[in-house]
Amino acid sequence: MVEFALIMPVLLMLYLGSIEASSLFTVDRRVTLAASTVGDLVAQWNPDVGEIPQAVLDDYFGAAEAIMVPYDATGIQQVVSFVTVDAAGATTVLWSKASGGAAARQAGEAYPLDAATQMNQLARAGGQFIAAETTLGYKPVLGLAFSDPLSLNHVSYFLPRFGKCIDAAGSDACP
């Protein structure tokens, strides 16, 4: 009886901790998948059809929110940006659209890329890429170990599939 009383709290903490850890891991993977989905869908847009309508971008953002089901997607923030890279490696945002209360990047501002980012290597010689950012405040399932939301974020980079500038509704950024 004494051994059980000593071991039971430890086993209970391990069990509840594994529930919390697996939930956090799953939600983090879904945030990654949501960012990848939005970026990939924008990269597949054929610029010969014209600019991406805002309704289509809203559908893309909605699809990313649906990826979070059955977890709570309240507060998910998404930003997709079309970025060009000049021959010197300087980045410039051509257009940016946001969802969920996130702030879109300003057209003309530099997009932050670190030297280790593979996209920087791929687009360095005068290219372009799509950056899709997703952020979600994860609320713990049980709230035993921590009660404040954890910020989960991920950025996915994609090259335009058709190799041309993709314009978004209202941006007129492409020549």
Q: pLDDT per residue over 92-107, tens digit each?
A: 899 999 999 999 999 9
Segment 114-119 shows an average pLDDT of 62
Q: Look over the chain and give the mean of its residue pLDDT values, rounded to a whole number.
A: 86
Asked, for residue 170, whether it belongs to a domain, the answer is no
Q: What is the DSSP letter of 168?
A: B
Residues of the domain holding 72: 2-158
Q: With 70 as the cut, is the pLDDT of residue 136 above it?
A: yes
Asked, for residue 131, whether it belongs to a domain, the answer is yes
Asked, for residue 171, whether it belongs to a domain, the answer is no
Report pLDDT for 117.
67
Report pLDDT for 41.
95
How large a percentage of the chain has pLDDT more than 70? 90
Segment 68-75 shows an average pLDDT of 88
Instruction: Please enumerate, as own/partner, the contacts of 103-106 that have beta carbons within 8 Å and a separation of 24 or more.
Output: 103/79, 104/79, 105/79, 105/81
Asked, for residue 169, whether it belongs to a domain, the answer is no
Predicted confidence band at 77 (pLDDT cuts at 50, 70, 90)?
very high
- Which uninterrupted H or E stretch holds 163? none
Q: How many structural domains does the chain have?
A: 1
Predicted confidence band at 128 (pLDDT cuts at 50, 70, 90)?
confident
Report pLDDT for 19.
85
Asked, for residue 163, whether it belongs to a domain, the answer is no
Paired with 83 in beta bridges are 93, 129
Q: What value, to the nearest 5°, has the Cα angle with vertex 61 and ends 57 and 67?
A: 145
